[in-house]
Amino acid sequence: MSNKTISGAELVVETLNAHEVPHIFGIPGAKIDSVFDAVCDGGPEIIICHHEQNAAFMAAATGRLTGKAGVCLATSGPGASNLITGVATANSEGDPVVALAGAVPLSMYSHNTHQSMDTRSLFNPVTKFSAEVMDTGSISDVVHKAFRIAEQPTQGASFVSLPQDVLLNQIASQAVQKPNELLFGGANKQAVAQAADKINAAKNPVFLLGMDSSQPIVTAAIRALLTRTPIPVVNTFAAAGVISHDLYQCFLGRIGLFKNQPGDIALAQADLVVSIGYNPIEYDPILWNKEAKCEIIHVGYQQADLEFSYNPSCEVIGDLAESINAIAVQLNQRESLVKNDRIQLLRNDLQSIMDLGANKVSAHGVHPLRFIHELRNFVSDDMTVCCDVGSIYIWMARYFHSFEPRRLLFSNGQQTLGVALPWAIAASLLTPNEKVISMSGDGGFLFSSMELATAVRHQSNIVHFVWNDQSYDMVKIQQMKKYGRGSAVQFIGPDIAQYAQSFGAHGLTINCSDDIVPVMKQAMQLQGPVLVGVNIDYSDNCRLLDQMHPCKQD
């Protein structure tokens, strides 16, 4: 019988290794330093960050891009609470994350001691699973459970609190088993048949694709269905890239935030909306089905979250890819659904605005459509683009089309500022030989700009564009619409090129339309982090809230 012992911290690391975790994103501290120490003896690579919120963002990007939970690690008290925004964002947007944080020793729980905080309760409302380990021997069990819950559909976040004494205690060594893959079955056959019958009977069906549609196996099933039976498609921002080049005839654009897009008109004219992998947090049903006149089929991993504007007549619940494949074989082949004049008018409407970008010249900087047009020429389908929130987010979500899933990343559920740069760093760590593009407004950039130091330290192969207008513009344009003036939205930001150079990164500037192509070409050729300041012309931003299209809703 072996007398070998293992500490709680070592058990944490062995459990992470069992899940083949590539990186841990975090910041050390006294209550969690035993785990950081144990990692030195053969754990995942530690990526030291400069704010715990950004560590959670990086873990979320890892989860979204790999389908396996990313891990962030923080100390007690404010270290743990600083994770909240990133963890809540991940949980809302289907990104698997396991957040671990230190806590004061169990013996001190009855005292008002340094950095004491009930973090289990703090995280409970914004995670799928929140727990505190009360015994060293149960560490592996609890962390395994956190991973399994985070990774099972619909994916999200788990949190585990690790008291300092639980991590330091020694127990008899125990083997940590590698967990089995979870497999799920397809939907009820009667529900599948009912859904297929309704789609076959509909004259103007539209598919509404949501965030779970972007899982690669689900995307493949959707593409196979549309290849056999072309049906008009709109998608939320999180489902960017599900529609491939060869299915572009089906695509009517993305919807979200403001109801003024061709996709919104398509939904209003539909006699049946088939939502696939959709979560109402992505785009509230009250915005696109306010009068509850449209019949809905809900296809998802879980039953629908019912409300007046989202009350499906049929629900197909189960493994999403299997459910789609089962529906597909029962559909009639009807090419006419995407070739009628109504659908072509909507497609032409969307394309006409995108085409404006090719020759758009501004006297006061760079027009967003021109920037997007030129960037599209530099970005291949397999290149990852991470976009922050703000006015840049609306322009990109509407007019930067992508053709592979999870290659154009948005924060849609929470619309959290500051995600783009941390996401890009995580993406670059996963694919160090590939160029990663990220972009933000200057407001969003300053939320996480300190992580440029992290990018430089790891020589992340990223190009980050910053659209400069020295304001929180998406807030400003809504204020102008409501009140006729802006309030508390102006600020002074740094010179982006000089800021980059002060960290040891490359710094470039785009001042006008003629600068776009040569500067983009230079940025793409440079190795390591590149920061590009863009003098953006937001004079057309007020139109983002208006009806920009000639088509009229019925």
The residues facing 386 across adjacent strands are 409, 438
SS3 202: coil
Q: Which of 106-120, 375-389, 475-489 has the lowest mean pLDDT?
A: 106-120
* Mean of the per-residue pLDDT values of the chain: 93
Run of H or E including 385: strand 385-387
DSSP code per residue over 70-92: EEEEE-STHHHHTTHHHHHHHHH
Could you tell me if 193 and 330 are in contact, meaning their C-beta atoms sit under 8 angstroms apart?
Answer: yes
Residue 346, CA atoms < 13 Å, CB-side half-sphere: 29
Which residue's structure tokens are 């529609």? 243
pLDDT > 50? residue 550: no
- Cβ neighbours for 111, distance < 8 A, ≥ 6 positions apart: none
pLDDT > 50? residue 417: yes
pLDDT > 80? residue 385: yes
pLDDT > 80? residue 196: yes
Burial class (CB in 10 A: 0-12, 13-18, 19+), 22: middle
Signed CA dihedral, 135, 136, 141, 144: sign only? positive
**Token representation of residue 331:** 């559909």
pLDDT, average across residues 504-530: 97
Could you tell me if 451 and 515 are in contact, meaning their C-beta atoms sit under 8 angstroms apart?
Answer: no
Confidence (pLDDT) at 554: 36
Which residue's structure tokens are 């309030």? 487
The residues facing 533 across adjacent strands are 466, 509
The fold adopted by the segment(s) 360-545 is Rossmann fold (3.40.50)
pLDDT > 80? residue 109: no
* Backbone torsions φ then ψ of 310, nearest 5 degrees: -140, 85
Confidence (pLDDT) at 1: 46
Confidence (pLDDT) at 363: 81
Could you tell me if 428 and 530 are in contact, meaning their C-beta atoms sit under 8 angstroms apart?
Answer: no
pLDDT, average across residues 538-553: 65
According to DSSP, residue 310 is labeled B
The fold adopted by the segment(s) 189-348 is Rossmann fold (3.40.50)
Look at residues 147, 90, 126, 157 and name the one whose alpha carbon lies nearest to residue 409.
Answer: 90
Run of H or E including 534: strand 530-535
| pLDDT single digits (tens) 283-301 | 999 999 998 989 999 999 9
Run of H or E including 439: strand 436-441
Residue 383, CA atoms < 13 Å, CB-side half-sphere: 18
| pLDDT single digits (tens) 37-93 | 999 999 999 999 999 999 999 999 999 999 999 999 999 999 999 999 999 999 999
Look at residues 297, 299, 292 and name the one whose alpha carbon lies nearest to residue 323.
Answer: 299
Q: How many helices (H) and strands (E) does the chain have?
A: 22, 20
Strand ranges for 133-187 from DSSP E:
157-163, 170-172
pLDDT > 90? residue 444: yes
- Bond into 75 cis (ω within 30): no
Interatomic CA distance for residues 116 and 105, integer angstroms = 9
Topology agreement, domain 5-172 and domain 360-545: yes
- Rounded alpha-carbon distances, angstroms, from residue 414 to 87, 263, 350: 11, 21, 26
pLDDT, average across residues 425-453: 97
- Cβ neighbours for 336, distance < 8 A, ≥ 6 positions apart: none
Domain boundaries, the chain: 5-172, 189-348, 360-545
Q: Which of 80-89, 416-425, 502-511, 539-548 has the lowest mean pLDDT?
A: 539-548
**Residue of 297 and 258 predicted with greater confidence:** 297
Confidence (pLDDT) at 2: 60
% of the chain beyond a pLDDT of 70: 98
Regarding the domain with residue range 5-172, which homologous superfamily does it belong to in the CATH classification? Thiamin diphosphate (ThDP)-binding fold, Pyr/PP domains (3.40.50.970)
Backbone dihedral region for residue 256 (phi beyond 0: left; psi -120 to 50: alpha; all else: beta)? left
Confidence (pLDDT) at 548: 44
Interatomic CA distance for residues 246 and 547, integer angstroms = 29
Confidence of residue 547 (pLDDT cuts 50, 70, 90): low
% of the chain beyond a pLDDT of 90: 81
Confidence of residue 358 (pLDDT cuts 50, 70, 90): confident
